[in-house]
Chains A and B, each alone.
Chain A
Amino acid sequence: MENPKNAAVSPQQKALQKIIWVLGAMAKLAIVVVFVFPFLWMLSTSLKTYNEAIAYPPTLLMAQPQWENFITVWNSGNYPLYFRNSIVVTLTILAIQLVVSVPCAYALARYKFRGAGLCFAIVLMAFMVPGQLTFVSIYIMFANADLLGTLWPQILPFGANAFGIFMLRQAFKQIPQEIIESARLDNGSELSIMFRILLPMAKSSLVAVTLFSFISRWNDYFWPFVMTNIDEIRPLTVAIAQLRDSENGSKWQIVMAGNVILVMPILVVYMFLHKRIINGFVYAGIK
């Protein structure tokens, strides 16, 4: 529309362009519906009775919200524990990643040392190796260490976040050398320079990395599914998956209520921080 050539077009062409624009806008809204509606359907089903859920013709709204569906889910297993496990696992991973990745990224960005290239190559390689390739070996490692009944098999394999190291390295590289030099003249120790001066300057990268990690760990089902064999260490995802296989499995309103519990924290975070989250994911994709 900003095209200067448009100034010369006839009124008919202008009308045609308007129609095309309206059709395009309608198509875009239809796409929005396609990508958002399944979540609304999840939410709506979770508040219905069974008969409402399977009624034909289907209705979007329920006669009366059935909040007890959520109570049914909550009482069908040890949900406070699953919730706690999800939170403990995710937060511990984030803490370890911060302590491990920041110094590594700092060294790779700011020091010249023998083996730096090799270290960076290992980081890049780790970036590409999926857990689906390593889970059997890692399971055996934890079995040998007698740690299978603990939360560690869900935590330790994610201690170093290759993507985070990569992204923080980029961010640290862009900080002017003078800032580091002057901090050193002030007798700052290397650790305090890193955590008190450089880290705040790389804040937006750090936030993106943290959100990315938080979302992928909270959502992960494959890894805890493979690594957990007793109820006490199960996170929310594994519990919700089992809900489906339980006696409640055919009651879609219960299954959907379980998924709402799992999805809500992420959706709320996404609503407030979608710009930063999108930046993190896009950056992870382009590198």
Chain B
Amino acid sequence: MKSDKLREKILPYLFVAPAMVFLLIFTLYPLIYMIYISFTDWTLVSKTKNFVGWENFVYIWQRADFLNALGNTFFYTFWTVLTLMVASMLFAVWLHKDTRLNNFTRTAMFTPHVIALLSVSMVWSWLMNEDTGLLNMLLQTFGLPTSRWLNSSDTAMGSIVLVSWWQSVGYYTLILFAALQGVPSEIYEAADLDSAGPINRFFRITLPMISPQVFLCLITMTIGSFKVFESIKVMTAGGPGKSTQVLVYYIYNTAFAMQFKIGIASAAGVVLLFIVGLLTILYFAFLSKKVFYQ
């Protein structure tokens, strides 16, 4: 019996220890290290790290390229989240019945989400190719004006939003569809008796009933958008000009690509951490209020 007691006491710590070691080394420590470095003048070429206070933050705040990257990130996030939210909600409601055709449609819509974003970005670069891409050929065939897509600073960011939307909309449709399955059908039957119209019914019953999931989707989408990098790296490399430079791209360029200014890159990283942290707190504050995991 005594060894049982001991086992009960020590075993759980042995069980969680490996996971905690990994999470502390590769999640928590890097964040703390980044905050520390953001207050130093460290570059990969210099050996010394001097404490410089808020200097890096003041510096990036005055740099046009950082503000441009920040602005582009907000632009991308705003349009991606808005179009994703509206579309996935419409799709989820439209495809909510459990029929074969609907299941097939939802599965097809989800496919791009399991494919490497790298390949998704490349096939869309090809479709959007200005001279020989399929999209412009189609537009031409129907007598519509063609677009410069990724080649013009006016349309490049919009094109990237379109690709992100295409890759993710099936995923969020499925999540909201799962949420809709949780709405008791009696509520709709009651509404049918009240002969509420479909639009009325959506805003007065459906939306309030699935609002927790909608809110969580909203935050997941926003965090996902703030960390955008791969698609931009592949499709425009930040161009044309600097029209698709985003925050992570700025961090990467400052840290590695040519400048090796780790201190300044970390300061930009702290800005991103601040945004993601705020959203995460919102997420969990909301989750703990709703407590629907137990």
1/0 contact string of B24-46 vs chain A (CB within 8 Å): 11111111011001000000000
CB pair A122–B174 under 8 Å, yes or no, is no
Contact of B118 among A39, A128, A240, A267 (CB under 8 A): A240
CB pair B284–A119 under 8 Å, yes or no, is no
CB-based nearest B residue for A259? B119
Q: A14-34: which residues lie under 8 A (CB-CB) from chain B?
A: 25, 28-29, 31-32, 34
CB-based nearest A residue for B22? A160
Q: Does A136 contact B (CB under 8 A)?
A: yes
The distance in angstroms between the C-alpha atoms of A277 and B252, with both chains bound, is: 32
The distance in angstroms between the C-alpha atoms of A267 and B227, with both chains bound, is: 26
Q: A242-260: which residues lie under 8 A (CB-CB) from chain B?
A: 244, 252, 255-256, 259
Question: Known: A113-B9, A124-B284, A286-B178. Is A133-B273 also a contact (CB below 8 A)?
Answer: yes
Q: Does A106 contact B (CB under 8 A)?
A: yes
Q: Does A41 contact B (CB under 8 A)?
A: yes
Q: A228-287: which residues lie under 8 A (CB-CB) from chain B?
A: 237, 240-241, 244, 252, 255-256, 259, 262-263, 266-267, 270, 274, 277-278, 281-282, 285-287
Question: Known: A103-B16, A162-B23, A286-B213. Is A170-B118 also a contact (CB below 8 A)?
Answer: no
The distance in angstroms between the C-alpha atoms of A122 and B29, with both chains bound, is: 12
* Chain B residues within 8 Å of A170, by CB: 293
1/0 contact string of A32-49 vs chain B (CB within 8 Å): 101110110110010000
With both chains docked as a complex, state the minimum distance between the C-beta of A169 and any C-beta of chain B, in angstroms.
10
* Chain B residues within 8 Å of A36, by CB: 108, 111
Question: Known: A226-B252, A259-B122, A286-B179. Is A136-B15 also a contact (CB below 8 A)?
Answer: no
CB pair B19–A136 under 8 Å, yes or no, is no
Q: Which of B150-158, B199-207, B229-237 contacts A (4 or more CB under 8 A)?
A: B229-237
1/0 contact string of B172-207 vs chain A (CB within 8 Å): 101100110000000000001000000000000000
* Chain A residues within 8 Å of B26, by CB: 134, 138, 156-160
CB-based nearest A residue for B166? A35
Q: Which of A51-59, A72-80, A201-209 contacts B (4 or more CB under 8 A)?
A: A51-59
Question: Known: A104-B16, A263-B119. Is A132-B108 also a contact (CB below 8 A)?
Answer: no
CB-based nearest A residue for B273? A133
CB pair B273–A263 under 8 Å, yes or no, is no
Contact of B22 among A34, A100, A241, A285 (CB under 8 A): A100
CB pair B137–A58 under 8 Å, yes or no, is yes
Interface extent on B, as a size class?
A: 35 or more
Question: Known: A99-B18, A111-B11, A126-B27. Is A41-B175 also a contact (CB below 8 A)?
Answer: no
CB pair A222–B230 under 8 Å, yes or no, is yes
The distance in angstroms between the C-alpha atoms of A223 and B120, with both chains bound, is: 17
Contact of A129 among B31, B179, B234, B248 (CB under 8 A): B31
* Chain B residues within 8 Å of A157, by CB: 26
Instruction: Tally A-B pairs: CB < 8 A.
Output: 251
Q: Does A94 contact B (CB under 8 A)?
A: no
* Chain B residues within 8 Å of A68, by CB: none
Question: Known: A119-B16, A190-B7. Is A138-B108 also a contact (CB below 8 A)?
Answer: no
* Chain A residues within 8 Å of B284, by CB: 124
CB pair A237–B122 under 8 Å, yes or no, is no
CB pair A281–B171 under 8 Å, yes or no, is yes
The distance in angstroms between the C-alpha atoms of A124 and B288, with both chains bound, is: 12
CB pair B117–A219 under 8 Å, yes or no, is yes
* Chain B residues within 8 Å of A136, by CB: 34, 37, 251, 255-256, 262, 265-266, 269
With both chains docked as a complex, state the minimum distance between the C-beta of B229 and any C-beta of chain A, in angstroms.
6
The distance in angstroms between the C-alpha atoms of A136 and B269, with both chains bound, is: 9
Contact of A116 among B12, B105, B108 (CB under 8 A): B12
CB-based nearest B residue for A245? B237
Specify the main secondary structure of chain A where it touches its partner.
helix
Q: Does B124 contact A (CB under 8 A)?
A: yes
Q: Which of B55-63, B74-82, B126-134 contacts A (4 or more CB under 8 A)?
A: B126-134
With both chains docked as a complex, state the minimum distance between the C-beta of A32 and any C-beta of chain B, in angstroms.
4
CB pair B23–A32 under 8 Å, yes or no, is no
* Chain B residues within 8 Å of A32, by CB: 104-105, 108-109
Question: Known: A35-B166, A122-B24. Is A103-B112 also a contact (CB below 8 A)?
Answer: no
Q: Does A64 contact B (CB under 8 A)?
A: no
Q: Does A218 contact B (CB under 8 A)?
A: yes
The distance in angstroms between the C-alpha atoms of A100 and B104, with both chains bound, is: 37
CB pair B15–A263 under 8 Å, yes or no, is no
CB-based nearest B residue for A215? B114
* Chain A residues within 8 Å of B285, by CB: none
With both chains docked as a complex, state the minimum distance between the C-beta of A256 and any C-beta of chain B, in angstroms.
7
Q: A100-129: which residues lie under 8 A (CB-CB) from chain B?
A: 100-101, 103-104, 106-108, 111, 113, 115-116, 119, 122-126, 128-129
Question: Known: A107-B15, A129-B276. Is A56-B137 also a contact (CB below 8 A)?
Answer: yes
* Chain A residues within 8 Å of B37, by CB: 136-137
Question: Known: A28-B101, A278-B174, A286-B178. Is A35-B31 also a contact (CB below 8 A)?
Answer: no
